[in-house]
Structure 1
Amino acid sequence: MSLTETETTELRLSSGNGPVTRTILATPIREARPEEVPIINISDIFSPSQAARKAVALEIRAAATNNGFFYISDHGVPSAVTSPAYEASLSFFCQQPAQKEPANVSHSIYKFGWKPPATQRVNPFEGIDRRESFSWRYDPRYDPSVPNVSAIPPHISRFIQHDSDNFPWSAATPHLKQTVIPLFQSVLGLGRALLRSFALSLDLDENALDDKFTHPDVGMALNYYPPLPPADGKSVKDVSIGSHTDFQLFTILIQDSVGGLQVLSRSGQWLYAKPIPGTFVVNFGDYMQRITNDRYPSTVHRVQNFSGQERLSMAFFFGFNLNESCAVLDSCVGEGEAKKYEPVACHEWTARRVKAMHDTSGKEARSSS
C-alpha cells in the first residue's frame, strides 16, 4: 500500500527514555508559512521597558505553543562576527582529512573536536548522518561573565568538561579559534538574554532561572553537509542529519543560504525552514518540554541537503549547569494537573543522549525492534 493510500506513516527516533514515534502526514514537504515558523524581532529583549520585554515574550510563547521553531531578527550578533567564523569553519572542513586529523575526537577525553564523515547517527532508525562536524562544550575560560575560573564552586566545576591541554583548539588552525570563539561569546550573551525572555514568557520572574545557568552546558557544533546524491523520492534513509529532537533547553542555529533544514509541525507535516538573511533559527529541546510539563514541546527536525551545494551551519545548544536537575516548574502545573516528568540530573540526561548519538551501528534500533 502506498503512502498516499495510508495517508500517514510512523517515524521512529531516539529519546532520553528510549525510542519514540511520531505520526507523519504523507503530503509532500512544503515551505513553512510565516504563521508556522514566525520571525520575531527580539530587539526589545534588551529594552529597559518591562512592557516591551513582555511583548517579545508573548510572541515567543505563541511560537513555543505552536510548532516550537521561530526565527529571530535584530538579535545583536553582527555579521562582522558571524561572517569570519563562517569562512574559517568552511576553510577548516575543506582541508584534506590528514590536515584535520590532529583535531579528531579520538584524541579527546570528552569527544570534542573534529568528527569525520560516517561517525554520527542521530537517529538509529535512519541512515548514518552524511556530515562531518567540529564541536565542543562550555569552557569557562572563554566565558566573559566568569572573571575567575578558579573561584567556580567545586559542585559546579566537577561537571565542566574540557580537555586540560585546550583541545581541540590546540589542534585546530589558529584562524578557526580566533574567529569562532568571539562568535561563541557573542551568542552566549544572546542565549542568556533569551533565557530571561523565556522565563518571562512562562509568567516567571525574568531572573528565575539565572541560578541554574551560571555556567551553562553550552555545546557548539559546526556542521558541514556535502550535497546528498540525487535520490528518487528523496528517501528519508538518506539524511544529512537524521530526525531528532534537541536534548537541552533551546538551540540557536546560524544557517547559510543553502537550506535543507526541515521542521516537523505538530500536525505531522514536514516543513522547510528556509534561510532568511539576518536571522537565526531558535527551537526548544527536551529540557524545555520537561520543565514546562509539555507546554513548550521539543520539536522534531532534520536536514536533507539535496541542493547540489555544500552547506554549513553553526549550532549552539543551551542547557542548565550540568550539576543542576531538570525538573518540572511548579508554575507550569495547573490546577488538577500532575507533573508528567520525574526530575533528572542534567549531566545524566546529556550523557545518555550524547552516547546514543555516536552509535553508528544502529544497535538501539536493533535492540528495540
Structure 2
Amino acid sequence: MVMNESLSQDYTLLKLSSAEGPVYRKVKKQAVRDAHPGEIPVIDISGIFSASLEERQAVATEIHKAATTIGFFYMKNHGIPTSTITAASETARKFFKLPAEEKEPVNVKHVKDYNGWKPPATQRISETESIDVRENFSVRYSPRYDSTIDRDAVIPEEVKKFLPAPDFELPWERVAQLETFKDDTLAHWKACLNLARKLQRAFALSLSLPEDYFDAKTKYPDASLALNYYPTIPTNEADGENVSIGSHTDFQFFTILWQDVVGGLQVLSPAGEWINATPIEGTLVVNIADYLSRITNDKYLSTVHRAKNTSGRERMSMAFFWGFGLNERCAVLPSCVDEAHPAKYEDISCEEWIRKRIEATYVNN
C-alpha cells in the first residue's frame, strides 16, 4: 500500500519497516476487540509426531488454512512439558527482578553475537510508536546445544562465519543469584528447537512439498529465544501510543510464542482490526514470518502484531524465532508459482534478508 492511498474517515495508516523500505497497513479506528471464536484457530498438532502420513497431513492441512487466512494459530498438544516451560519462565522472572547492576555482566553491550540482556528503554521497534516498555534476554543458536550436531562435526566455513565463536559462552555464572538460569533457559530453547524441526516438516507438507524439503536449510538454523518482561503501561498512558513492543512483523520462517495468563498480544486482522490473542492454557502461539511469506509468493501471511500490557500486572513471554541458516538462500517455492501466479521475488540469501530487516527495523532510544 502506498502512503498516499486515500483513506476513509474510519481508518488510520500504520507505518511499518520492511526489507524493501516502509510499508503501510490500514487500521480501523475502533477499540481493540477480543478475537472471535476460531478467528485465530487452535490446532491440535499431536499428529505431527505420528508415524501415519495421513495424520501428519491432516495437521498440515489445518496449518495451510491458518497461514493463508490469518497468519497466526494456537497449537495444543505440542509436546513441550509444562515443567520445562514453568521452570524457564519462573527463572526468567527472577532474572528480570534482579537489580540492574546484577544483570549488567550479561548486558548485550559486553557480550558478543547479540546474546544477553537488553535493559529497559533501550529498544524501539516501531518509529511511530513509543519506546518499547520492556526488557529482554536473548539466546542465539549454537551447535554446542544442538543434539542433532555431532560434537566432532567439521562445520563448513560458509556456516561457521554466522555462528558464535566455538569458545563463546554467555557468562551465566556472573548472574550469581540464579543457579538454574542457564539450565532452565537452555532446556526451553532445546525443546523449542526440537519442536521447530518437526513443525517445519508440517509446513513443507502444507505447501505440497516433500516433508524434508527444508531440512538441509536448517541444519544450522537461525534459531533464537527471547525472554521478554513487560511491566504494565501506566493507566494514564494506556490509551496513547505507548506499547510494550511496537507494531511489526517477524523476520524469518515462523515464531513459537509462550505467553503467560496476563495477555497483551494483539494481532492486526485482515480487515484491519486490532484483536487480542487471548492466552489459552496449554497452548503455544505460532505466527508466520516475512521470509516464509516471501518464498510462498505471499500465499502465507506474515501478520502485523504488537504487545500492549495495560493489565496493571507484569507480563512475561518467551518467543522462539525459527529460520534457515544465514548461509542459505531460497527462491519462491515451486509449489507457489504457476502460469497465473509467477514468482514475485528473486531469490535472496538469509543473511542479506536479516541484515536488511535489522537495519530497517531497530530504532534505538
Compute the TM-score of the two structures, normalised by the length of structure 1: 0.93
Distance 1:164 1:245 in 2: 33
* Helix, strand or coil at the partner of 1:6: coil
Aligned to 2:239: 234
CA contact (8 A) 2:238 2:310 kept: no
1:150-229 equivalences in 2 (<5 Å): 150-161=153-164, 164-169=167-172, 171-172=174-175, 173-229=178-234
Identity %: 49
In 2, the alpha carbon distance for the partners of 1:11 and 1:112 equals 30
1:57, 1:201 within 8 Å by CA — same for their partners in 2?
yes
2:78 to 58, 75, 79: 75
Output aligned runs, 1:352-363, within 5 Å: 352-361=356-365
Deviations 1:333-364 (A, max 9, x none): 12232211122211122123234444225xxx
Alignment-derived partner of residue 88 in structure 2: 85
- Quick one: which of 345, 348, 363 aligns to 2:349? 345
1:331 counterpart residue number: 335
- Over aligned residues, Cα RMSD in angstroms? 1.7
Residue 236 of structure 2: SS of its match in structure 1? coil
Task: Work out whether residues 47 and 59 of structure 2, in 8 Å CA contact, stay in contact via their aligned partners in 1.
Answer: yes
Partner of 2:346, secondary structure, is coil
Change (3 A) 1:41 1:337: same
Is structure 2 residue 124 aligned with structure 1 residue 121? yes
How many Å apart are 1:153 and its aligned residue? Answer: 1.9
CA distance in 2, matches of 1:138, 1:282: 19
C-alpha displacement of 1:232? 6.5
Q: Deviations over 1:259-295 (max 9, x none)?
A: 0000001111111000111000000000110110000
Task: Name the residue aligned to 1:254.
Answer: 258
Q: SS in structure 1 opposite 2:69?
A: coil
Distance in structure 2 (CA, Å) of the matches to 1:177 and 1:204: 37
1:155-210 C-alpha deviation (Å, 9 max, x unpaired): 22221135844025354444111111111111111000000000000011111111
Instruction: Say whether residues 1:293 and 2:297 are aligned partners.
Output: yes
What are the Cα deviations for residues 64-101 of structure 1, in whole angstroms up to 9, with x where unaligned?
11111100000000111111111100000000001100
> When the two structures are superposed, what TM-score results if normalisation uses the length of structure 2?
0.94
SS of the residue corresponding to residue 222 of structure 1 reads strand
Q: Which of 18, 25, 28 is matched with 2:28 structurally?
A: 25
Verify the 8 A CA contact 2:265 2:308 in the aligned structure 1. Answer: yes
Query: Which one is further off, 244-253 or 103-112?
Result: 103-112
Report the secondary structure of 2:227's partner residue: strand
Shift, 1:152, TM fit: 1.9
- State which of 108, 111, 118 in structure 2 corresponds to 1:108: 111
1:141–1:170: structure 2 CA closer, same or farther, 3 Å change rule? farther
Change (3 A) 1:97 1:292: same
Residue 322 of structure 2: aligned partner: 318
Count of residues paired in the alignment: 357
SS, match of residue 276 in structure 1: coil
Q: Is the Cα–Cα contact under 8 Å of residues 21 and 360 in structure 2 kept in the other structure? A: no
Q: Distance between the aligned counterparts of 2:157 and 2:39, measured in 1?
A: 44
After TM superposition, the structure 1 stretch with the greater mean CA deviation from structure 2, 225-234 or 102-111, is: 225-234
Aligned to 1:365: none
Please say if 1:37 is aligned against 2:40.
yes
Q: Distance in 1 between matches of 2:12 and 2:324?
A: 35
- Structure 1 residues 279-318: Cα deviation after superposition (integer angstroms, max 9, x where no partner): 0000000011011000002000000000000001000000
- Unaligned segments of structure 2, at least 5 residues: 1-6
Cα distance change of structure 1 residues 327 and 7 upon mapping to structure 2, 3 Å threshold: same
Matches of 1:231 and 1:164, distance apart in 2:
48
Aligned-partner Cα distance in 1 for 2:193–2:17? 27
Q: Distance in 1 between matches of 2:320 and 2:171?
A: 17
Match of 1:147 in 2: 150
Distance (Å, rounded) in 2 between the aligned partners of 1:169 and 1:325: 33
Name the SS of the counterpart of 1:82 in structure 2: helix
- Report the secondary structure of 1:106's partner residue: coil
Structure 1 residue ranges without an equivalent (≥5):
362-369
1:222–1:168 distance in 2 versus 1, CA, 3 Å: farther
Task: Kindly indicate whether the alpha-carbon contact (under 8 Å) linking 1:119 and 1:358 is maintained by their aligned counterparts in 2.
Answer: no
Per-residue CA deviations over 1:5-64 (Å, capped at 9, x if unaligned) read 811110001111121100011122111123210100000111111111111100111101
Q: Deviations over 1:236-278 (max 9, x none)?
A: x200000000011000000001000000011111110001110
